[in-house]
Amino acid sequence: MRRTAISCRNAFACTLLLPIAIALSAGSASAQRSCESLTNLVLSDATISSAIAVSAGAFKPPSGPGQPAASRLPAFCRVQGVAKPSSDSEIKFEVWLPASGWNGKLEQVGNGGFAGAIPEFAMAQPLHRGYATAATDDGHAGGTGASWAIDHPEKVIDFGYRAVHVVSIQAKAIVAAFYGSSPKLSYFVGCSDGGREALMEAQRFPDDFRGIVAGAPANYWTHLQFKGLWDERAVEDPGSFIPPEKLKVLQDASLAACDSLDGLKDGLIENPRLCHFNPAVVQCKGADTASCLTESQVQAARKIYGPAVNSETGAAIAPGFSPGAEANPANWALWITGTKLGQPTIGAFFANAFFSGMVFGNSKLDVHTVNFGSDVRLTDDKLALILNADNPDLRAFKSHGGKLIQYAGWGDAAIPPQGSVDYFESVQSAMGNTKEFYRLFMVPGMSHCGGGAGANVFGNGAEVPNADASNDVVMALDRWVEDGLAPAEIVATRYVDNNSAKGVEMTRPLCPYPHQALYNGSGDPNRASSFTCRIPAGPAKH
């Protein structure tokens, strides 16, 4: 098929010529116009501020969580733009378009935390794989807090759900203009807040994407922040603070109690829901030492393992954290307990910023005035419909042919992993068995979005060796969408010291919940082939 280039002298001419170019060049994987000419493209409620052809290796995006900076990107067209769906919106976005070898698909990537910057580090991998890729800053600058939300309700809406949806529309229009053909398939991939965005898309805009990967979703956003506040208060007194060296005491004891439940003692709790660990077993019998916890510290640990509780009704507001990975790097000391008394943790930071910026609109708010009764109602009344992606009705997404893969690490200390199970089970209750379109994979020992103990690399940011649909979650999604082959398992990899340069230490199958990987009783325990996905016996811990 011959290529048709568009030379637009003005936006009106570009608008007239675009449909002709699409008709003449549909199915082509190469650019049909110059990158720079995209600045003339007319978009609805958006403008393109820059379109620059980037030669191979000339652009190095910043590194992101669990992912080094891309050392050499292929040649691409870098499009930057701004969408303004409301009078107070300024949603910045980027679309990267492979100069050649486009696979005909679009992958939009999600944000983390409060967003506030375009996650360029997450755009590198899909570009390498031939995808056109898009991302947004969610409509504000600066991800170090939520002061941007004060007196800006439209920006809160942009962050909550509008920015990702609007950018998906703009990205598809830009792809069609550049290649002369709309993407045949569009995917969304995100973790943490990006996981929340992913579920929000499936629930609120089911036609935007045919395939979605939702990692460690912060989907019950309002209640997650109450859990952050709950845990902050649990360890804020000198007597209840749990120093980092004592976290290993908790971890060793929880592993001693529950590690072997899956038939193999390997330093991992395969399914913490079956673990009935009582932190009182490590309570000091006499003097306080580094090898035991005081009674106050044990009570603090109980609060962290347990749910945040509504002070008026006694109902759980948010689930607690799972045992087995307390002392892992980037876990409790970073997110929950702190490295020293009075030092803010990341979990407390998010909670404090949320209540001061989004809920009460007061940058000088004393968060100790926030209560776990009436303020839960106040927060939900104001923000739940905007921020929470907890609607279990995915019928529209399913009927559209959508496929959804969700994952979370059982060792996550940022977002309680039980929350992923709770949402999955709520969808099951509402819709019945979801195996035709929605599967959940829980990852033993993995921290927030990646890292931690166990096999924790499966296309969730870091590159997989010899990647294919058997060991890469995005490739598994693509095969499910294109070929109808649902992932029966995803083989995850652990590198030595979590460093890919040191080689592979182990592989392990990740199983669709409620199945888990159980040791076959023989074979190399560091090889996935020695495990089978089965539903465990015994009652689950709720």
Tens of pLDDT, residue by residue over 444-502, are 999 999 999 999 999 998 778 789 999 999 999 999 999 999 999 999 999 999 888 89
- Please state which of the ranges 3-12, 33-42, 88-97, 495-504 shows the lowest mean pLDDT: 3-12
Q: Bridge-partner residues for 318, per DSSP? A: 308
**Mind listing the pLDDT tens digit for each residue in 390-436?**
999 999 999 999 999 999 999 999 999 999 999 999 999 999 999 99
Give the pLDDT band (50/70/90) at residue 18. Answer: very low
- CA distances to 12, 18, 509, 526, 531 from 506, in Å: 58, 51, 10, 4, 12
What is the pLDDT at residue 335?
97
- Determine whether 215 is exposed, middle or buried from the number of CB atoms within 10 Å of its CB (0-12, 13-18, 19+): buried
Mean of all residue pLDDT scores within the chain: 92
The more confidently predicted of residues 400 and 70 is 400
What is the pLDDT at residue 69?
59
What is the three-class DSSP state of 202?
helix
What is the pLDDT at residue 143?
72
What is the pLDDT at residue 65?
63
Can you point out the beta strands (E) in 364-436? 403-409
The more confidently predicted of residues 201 and 329 is 201
Name the active-site residue from 89, 181, 192, 254.
192
Nearest to 53 by CA among 97, 18, 10: 97
Tell me whether residue 158 is one of the annotated catalytic residues: no
Tell me whether residue 276 is one of the annotated catalytic residues: no
Quick check: 7 pLDDT over 70?
Answer: no
Give the pLDDT band (50/70/90) at residue 542. Answer: very low
Quick check: 9 pLDDT over 60?
Answer: no
Tell me whether residue 311 is one of the annotated catalytic residues: no
* Domain boundaries of the chain, sorted by first residue: 11-220+387-497, 223-386
Give the pLDDT band (50/70/90) at residue 29. Answer: low
**Mind listing the pLDDT tens digit for each residue in 517-539?**
999 999 999 999 999 999 987 54
**Mind listing the pLDDT tens digit for each residue in 136-192?**
999 999 877 999 999 999 999 999 999 999 999 999 999 999 999 999 999 999 999
- Please state which of the ranges 60-74, 341-355, 404-418, 423-437 shows the lowest mean pLDDT: 60-74
What is the pLDDT at residue 67?
60
Domain covering 11-220+387-497, topology: Rossmann fold (3.40.50)
Q: How far apart are CA 492 and CA 472, in angstroms?
A: 8
Q: How far apart are CA 430 and CA 192, in angstroms?
A: 24
Question: What percentage of the chain reaches a pLDDT higher than 90?
Answer: 86
What is the pLDDT at residue 22?
32
Can you point out the beta strands (E) in 342-483? 403-409, 438-443
Q: Which residues contact 451 (CB under 8 A, 6 or more apart)?
A: 66, 328, 329, 330, 498
Quick check: 359 pLDDT over 90?
Answer: yes
Name the active-site residue from 448, 472, 478, 515.
448
Q: How many Cα atoms are found within 13 Å in the side-chain-facing hemisphere of 224?
A: 31
**Mind listing the pLDDT tens digit for each residue in 253-273?**
999 999 999 889 999 999 999
What is the pLDDT at residue 247?
97
Name the active-site residue from 158, 208, 412, 472.
412
What is the pLDDT at residue 460?
94
* Cis upstream peptide for 272 (omega within 30°): no
Nearest to 37 by CA among 85, 59, 4: 4
- Please state which of the ranges 52-61, 77-86, 425-434, 531-540 shows the lowest mean pLDDT: 531-540
**pTM, to two decimals:** 0.92
Quick check: 21 pLDDT over 70?
Answer: no
Give the pLDDT band (50/70/90) at residue 3. Answer: very low
What is the pLDDT at residue 491?
98
